[in-house]
Structure 1
Amino acid sequence: MKTTWFIAITAALVHTICGLSIPTTKENNEPKVLGLETKRRVPRRNPIHRDKLRKRGTFEVGLDNEETLYFINGTIGTPPHAVRLHLDTGSSDLWVNTPASQLCTSGNSPCAYAGTYAANTSSTYQYIASNFNISYVDGSGASGDYVSDTVTIGSQKIDRLQFGVGYSSTNAQGILGIGYPLNEVQVNRARLKPYDNLPAQLVAEGVIRSKAYSLWLNDLDASTGNILFGGVDTEKFTPPLRSLPVESASSVHAEFMLTLTSLHLNDRALGPSPNLAIAVLLDTGSSLTYLPDPLVADLYAAVGAVFNTDANAAYVPCSLARNTTTQLGFTFSEPTIWIGMDELVLDLVTSSGRRPTFSDGTPACLFGIGPAGSAGSGNTFVLGDTFLRSAYVVYDLDNNQIALAPTRFNSTTSNIMEIGTGAGAVPGATKVQNPVRATEGLRGLNAASAAATTGRAGGAKGAFAVAVGLASVVAMLGGML
């Protein structure tokens, strides 16, 4: 069984970056690597609620695995303000809270964990504009100024990086969006030109050679993962590393969308057709994975999942995590990423230590796949952390390519290779020939880009009809979610 998840009024495990950065600088243009130590901490978070909110040489940053969030540790300003930033590939802006906001000054210090930034106390702060405004589908968000200041990630200092400051905020988590610049708030809200966000600024300052990075989240139990800006670690995946084109809306790339061509439970294709062409968003900002209703209904029936409309979540017997013969396969033209049930079954415990059960007394666990409506509904289909932990992913923004390979869990060795420039920049990656292009799930540029300002919803609450029906979950479970 994987590490315990806590529901609604309880706490979810988190690992906070507490150690000092350990820079290792190599000569002769060899990769530069930054290492971080981690430590666990317990915040109060619910993954279902949080999914409604809506990150020359190589540069390595340790990831803090909350299992519902992945954080990067850093500082902003002079003198430095310590912040913990939620890594989000589904958005493109870095933003932080200010300590004087109504949210951060409320009881229980909700902003204490993620940290805050006071612009007027920094000698390197520069005001840009008052058009920062990000909002999410549940009504939360932040508004305030765009500013620039010195930002340090690990021990790498980035001068004059632009980011948002939330003077009015209803979200205690600072965000490090590392997506396409076209997905920035000032592009979508103010119709301004994109600015250099973190990946672009790392290139501009010569830290890395191209706007590309690789992500290794490791498994559900792991306390650490890493992101390599400008590099690939060949010890963190099982070859081959296959490269696919990022799907575009009207020939404009704004989000990390790939075409899902089939979904299998072992050797059985799920859904009404074995051949799919559905655009899916690779998003570290989403704890769970959200797929079209017909696929999800078929999957739920096969694994015995029960969908609860009040919680907008599915539950399975916890014993499913011990099933080592059943895997869920996601195919993208050629490469297939297989996910074991132990990575999809998430343990739940109440604050009093009680475990939720079905009405017959069977222990109930959260299932890591949720419904997102029909393919023609305009909803976004999302491959969140329950998928991404099993995949090694290279995001190549310069070439509009994403490379995938099965992850190598708990690897203790490294072989870091630099991502260069031009076509074929990702070392060891081979392009998929004649990849299937998406015919469903794509949106126009304005709608696609709105993910950065509206977030990604985790399915349509109350709109999902599961063929197997809704077996009752005891009041303890329904009441707490």
Structure 2
Amino acid sequence: MCKPPSISKRQEDTDVPLYDISEVSYLIELSIGTPGQSVKVAVDTGSSELWVDPVCQTSQSLSEVEECIANGIYDPSRSDTFEDLNSTNTIPYGIGVVEIEYVSDNIAFPNSTINLTDVQFGVATASRQLNEGIMGLSFGGNTPQADLRYNNIVDELYLQNATQSRAFSVALGSSDSDNDSVVIFGGIDTSKYAGPLRTLPILGPQNGETIYRYWVQLDSIGTTVDGSSRTYDNSSLPVVLDTGSTFCSLPRAVVNGMMEDLDGQIDRQGQVLVDCSQVDNEDTLDFDFGNITIRIPYSQFVLQANSEVCVLGAIPDDQIALLGDSFLRSAYVVFDQNNMEVAMAPYVNCGRSEQRIPDEGVSGVQGACDSADNGGGGDSGGGDDNAGSRLTATRDTSVFDRPMRSEKRQERLSKPKGSAMVAVGYKGRFGYKGAKDFLDKRNS
């Protein structure tokens, strides 16, 4: 590992690994404390806080316990730079709950030049049905939109000169490719998309909330079959972009339209089962944002558990609309808090070509790829060579016959107890437990 240099000036060009665990979650490795202790946490644009150390023994199966333990445990008593902040919080989820104590310690990203000091985060003292910690990348405490009362990881990367902006880019990669997932703090990779990046304003709080999230306006969702297109009812609405949710949560009318097109049916767990022949279907679902349309082949939007069970990457939900990983795998997305905008282009992987996110944002920055390079799709309407902090992914596909991602937790919108207000994020209906339970039942 490279020795971290002084951070008296802002850093550029740094690589750290991101681990894609069987398409259930994307994990980043952190080295916490002095000496450093290795811990992996899930990368999540749907929430704002970092917390570690779920109680593994409360996981719902032996395999979950083993995976939880493998992610590592942070022991504050073993760190010379740990500080107890003497405040606590409780975060309830749709599946599970975590109680945390706030601490401060140093956090480094192994195999990179990032070495942050005195970072506030949570250490779980109790948890139920949660087997991984979370690194939230939504709005922290040092922005006008903040609901947190302290700086989160995105803030600290900027304030400690590791990045030149509160912005980062995400490419989750296609479901049938290994080692192509990338997150870059402060930078973009123009070899991960085709056409120009198109920007969308981040909307204010929705659904009666006061919390800022990565809300953008979706104009419509439709489908194109054999060259003929149509639009689903009730598909113009604000949506949250959330790497922490596996499926998209969409209005029931939209999902019903998809079910009719694919002859699907909803099972008892709320997931839409479809015929596995759809994994070879190259007709598209079309997500139109006004100045850009992301076209997703059904082959990328249908997840295969085994040779007989396939699931649509969307569930019906008339309460909250979000675009999770089943959408994000087909898009390259830049989350820019400085300019309060999200930029988007069709995901394509044609190599690696990184640059820093300019102060004025990335609108119109051209991708290096042709849309035919790996079958990516999309339409766009109408730097320099220095990148930010780059995260690359490896994939472990040992759990399932074919990787399947399932819905993660849905965090409730109640105000948690404790001394800090927490901007909790939306998660999908089912947690990691839900994914494993679903597959275990179908495979038995």
| TM-score of the aligned structures, taking structure 2 as reference length | 0.76
What residue number does 2:397 align with? Answer: none
- 1:152-231 residue pairs with structure 2 within 5 A? 152-154=108-110, 155=112, 156-170=114-128, 171-181=130-140, 194-224=149-179, 225-231=181-187
Find out whether 1:300 has 2:259 as its counterpart.
yes
- 1:61-460 residue pairs with structure 2 within 5 A? 62-97=18-53, 103=58, 108-109=65-66, 111-138=68-95, 140-154=96-110, 155=112, 156-170=114-128, 171-181=130-140, 194-224=149-179, 225-249=181-205, 254-266=212-224, 267-272=228-233, 276-308=235-267, 310-324=268-282, 326-349=283-306, 355=307, 363-373=308-318, 379-409=319-349, 411=350, 413-421=351-359, 423-424=360-361, 428=365, 452-453=423-424, 455-458=426-429
SS in 1 for 2:246: coil
Q: Deviations over 1:299-354 (max 9, x none)?
A: 1101111111x121111111111122x100101112000111111121113xxxxx
Give 1:226 deviation, angstroms: 1.1
Contact residue 260 and residue 278 of structure 1 kept, 8 A: yes
Give 1:222 deviation, angstroms: 2.6
The one-letter amino acid of 1:241's match is: L
CA distance in 2, matches of 1:194, 1:218: 34
Contact residue 88 and residue 177 of structure 1 kept, 8 A: yes
Contact residue 148 and residue 163 of structure 1 kept, 8 A: yes
Contact residue 98 and residue 118 of structure 1 kept, 8 A: no
* Change in 2 beyond 3 A, CA 1:24/1:332: farther
Give 1:424 deviation, angstroms: 3.4
Give 1:419 deviation, angstroms: 1.2
Q: Deviations over 1:29-69 (max 9, x none)?
A: 88322153xxxxxxxxxxxxxxxxxxxxxxxxx44353121
CA distance in 2, matches of 1:22, 1:337: 41
Give 1:479 deviation, angstroms: 6.6
Give 1:478 deviation, angstroms: 6.5
Contact residue 142 and residue 151 of structure 2 kept, 8 A: no
The one-letter amino acid of 1:345's match is: V
Find out whether 1:34 has 2:5 as its counterpart.
no
* Change in 2 beyond 3 A, CA 1:448/1:385: farther
CA distance in 2, matches of 1:176, 1:408: 26
CA distance in 2, matches of 1:70, 1:454: 16
Give 1:458 deviation, angstroms: 2.7
Q: Deviations over 1:247-271 (max 9, x none)?
A: 1028977100111101111143333
Q: Deviations over 1:422-475 (max 9, x none)?
A: x33667279989xxxxxxxxxxxx77999954743439xxxxxxxxxxxxxxx9
Give 1:118 deviation, angstroms: 1.0
* Change in 2 beyond 3 A, CA 1:243/1:429: farther
Give 1:477 deviation, angstroms: 8.6
* Change in 2 beyond 3 A, CA 1:166/1:29: closer
CA distance in 2, matches of 1:455, 1:29: 32
The one-letter amino acid of 2:298's match is: M
| TM-score of the aligned structures, taking structure 1 as reference length | 0.70
What residue number does 1:45 align with? Answer: none
The one-letter amino acid of 1:338's match is: R
Give 1:129 deviation, angstroms: 2.9
SS in 1 for 2:70: coil
SS in 2 for 1:181: coil
RMSD between aligned residues: 3.5
Contact residue 279 and residue 304 of structure 2 kept, 8 A: no
SS in 1 for 2:156: helix
CA distance in 2, matches of 1:78, 1:141: 29
Contact residue 253 and residue 400 of structure 1 kept, 8 A: no
Contact residue 419 and residue 427 of structure 1 kept, 8 A: no
Larger relative contact order (Cα-Cα within 8 Å, sequence gap ≥ 6) = 2
CA distance in 2, matches of 1:91, 1:476: 27
SS in 1 for 2:68: coil
* Change in 2 beyond 3 A, CA 1:148/1:23: closer
CA distance in 1, matches of 2:439, 2:188: 46
CA distance in 1, matches of 2:165, 2:299: 36
Q: Deviations over 1:71-129 (max 9, x none)?
A: 11121111221111100000010100167x8648x975563122111112211101113
Contact residue 215 and residue 239 of structure 2 kept, 8 A: yes
* Change in 2 beyond 3 A, CA 1:332/1:133: same
CA distance in 2, matches of 1:30, 1:279: 35
Contact residue 49 and residue 422 of structure 2 kept, 8 A: no
Give 1:480 deviation, angstroms: 6.6
The count of residues paired between Structure 1 and Structure 2 equals 376
